[in-house]
């Protein structure tokens, strides 16, 4: 029998613990940062569950691992020992850049803004992009008041670019054209 319980009742008064032990309100910016990264991770799982090429699934699984790593880094506070945590590396960013470049090679030139949609997998990739951008905004806000690993900021910036290109590439692979946005004329 499993005696481990998911509920601890420790957060019943609206607080939670950071790695390192400090109790903070559940709306603390660190919690908001790693919570939004966790939301992104859930959406990446949903995207990975779509009928997309196996290579994309493999890359997305690696990305989920890196996002979880970033979550642990963001949750680390005074008293936390970063050497006990996984780390972000420059190679993680370079991997995203290689993937972006490889996908871009076969895509038609982008001449207009595009609207999300056309296929569920394309839309999920755009949702990942949007949640990633929100996480990036929160992380950069956190960096104004607390120490944040620069590689985490760079990773989320590049990751949102990856999701944009992945959305286009999935659509291209499925024969779904980009939905171009054309501004309505004034008048």
The whole-model pTM stands at 0.88
Note the pLDDT tens digit of each residue in 68-99.
999 988 887 766 666 777 889 999 999 999 99
User: What is the Cα–Cα distance from 85 to 70, expressed in whole angstroms?
Assistant: 10
List, in sequence order, the alpha helices (H) in 5-78.
Answer: 29-48, 54-75
The torsion region of residue 156 among left (phi > 0), alpha (psi -120 to 50) and beta comes to alpha
- pLDDT of the residue at 153: 97
- What is the rounded distance in angstroms from the CA atom of residue 27 to the CA atom of residue 94? 33
Most confident segment among 111-115, 135-139, 183-187: 135-139
Fold of domain 22-103+113-177:
Hypothetical Protein Ta1238; Chain: A; (1.20.1200)
pLDDT at 14 over 80: no
Residue ranges in 28-181 assigned as alpha helix (H): 29-48, 54-75, 90-106, 120-143, 150-174
């Amino acid at each position: 029998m499993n005696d481990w319980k998911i509920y601890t009742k420790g957060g019943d008064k609206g607080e939670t613990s950071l790695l390192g032990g400090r109790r903070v309100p559940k709306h603390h910016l660190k919690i908001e940062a790693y919570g939004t990264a966790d939301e992104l991770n859930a959406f990446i799982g949903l995207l990975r569950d779509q009928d997309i090429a196996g290579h994309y699934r493999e890359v997305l699984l690696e990305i989920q691992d890196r996002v979880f790593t970033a979550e642990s880094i963001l949750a680390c506070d005074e008293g936390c020992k970063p050497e006990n945590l996984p780390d972000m590396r420059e190679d993680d960013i370079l991997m995203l850049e290689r993937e972006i470049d490889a996908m871009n090679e076969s895509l038609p030139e982008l001449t207009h803004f595009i609207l999300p949609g056309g296929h569920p997998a394309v839309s999920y990739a755009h949702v990942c992009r949007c949640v990633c951008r929100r996480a990036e905004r929160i992380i950069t806000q956190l960096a104004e008041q607390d120490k944040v690993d620069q590689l985490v900021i760079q990773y989320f910036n590049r990751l949102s670019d990856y999701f944009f290109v992945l959305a286009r590439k999935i659509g291209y692979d499925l024969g779904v054209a980009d939905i171009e946005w054309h501004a309505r004329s004034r008048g």
